[in-house]
């Protein structure tokens, strides 16, 4: 079975500070990993995805994530937070090749202080 743990349901940073959102996964097979962002009362938008091509993945809006197999982690980072980054972020793992099934973490709400 696949599972995802996001450490910290709420993260608060100052504008301009480093953003670090943590994601650890459990998988019995090589995983495919995704980060999605959700703004209030909206659907999810894909930020980036890891599909084994490269361990450092760059996404939209200046975000990137690094796949570390030894740590079973896929943490999301951004060097400098903007007010517009305030949202909820979800890490997800793909469960198998058929159906692109995803298992989601519980989400991390990012707050950005001026």
Partner 1 sequence: DGGITQSPKYLFRKEGQNVTLSCEQNLNHDAMYWYRQDPGQGLRLIYYSQIVNDFQKGDIAEGYSVSREKKESFPLTVTSAQKNPTAFYLCASSMQTGGVHNEQFFGPGTRLTVL
Interface mask toward partner 1 for 88-107; x: CB under 8 A: --x---x--xxxxxx-xxxx
Binding residue for partner 1, selected from 32, 63, 67, 74, defined by CB under 8 A: 32
Number of H helices, E strands in the chain: 0, 12
φ/ψ of 79, rounded to 5, equals -60, -35
Contact 99, 107 (CB under 8 A): no
Which C-beta is closer to partner 1: that of 98 or that of 114? 98
Binding residue for partner 1, selected from 34, 63, 67, 74, defined by CB under 8 A: 34
Binding residue for partner 1, selected from 12, 14, 51, 80, defined by CB under 8 A: 51
Number of residues that bind partner 1 (CB under 8 A): 24
CA–CA distances in Å: residue 8 to residues 44, 48, 51, 69: 19, 20, 25, 21
**Rounded to the nearest whole angstrom, what is the least distance from the CB of residue 8 to partner 1 in the complex?**
12
Q: In terms of Cα–Cα distance, which of 9, 39, 13 is closest to 22?
A: 9
Please tell me the distance from the alpha carbon of residue 47 to that of residue 64, in angstroms, as a whole number.
Answer: 8
**Residues binding partner 1 (CB under 8 A):** 9, 32, 34, 36, 41-46, 49, 51, 90, 94, 97-102, 104-107
């Amino acid at each position: 079975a696949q599972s995802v743990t996001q450490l910290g349901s709420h993260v608060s940073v100052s504008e301009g500070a480093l953003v670090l959102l943590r994601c650890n996964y459990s998988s019995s097979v090589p995983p495919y990993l995704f980060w999605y962002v959700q703004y209030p009362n909206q659907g999810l938008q894909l930020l980036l995805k890891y599909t084994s091509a490269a361990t450092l993945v760059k996404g939209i809006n200046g975000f990137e994530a690094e796949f570390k197999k030894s740590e079973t982690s896929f943490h999301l980072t951004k060097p400098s937070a903007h007010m517009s980054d305030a949202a909820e972020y979800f890490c997800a793992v793909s469960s198998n090749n058929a159906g692109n099934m995803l298992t989601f973490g519980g989400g991390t709400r990012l707050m950005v202080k001026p």
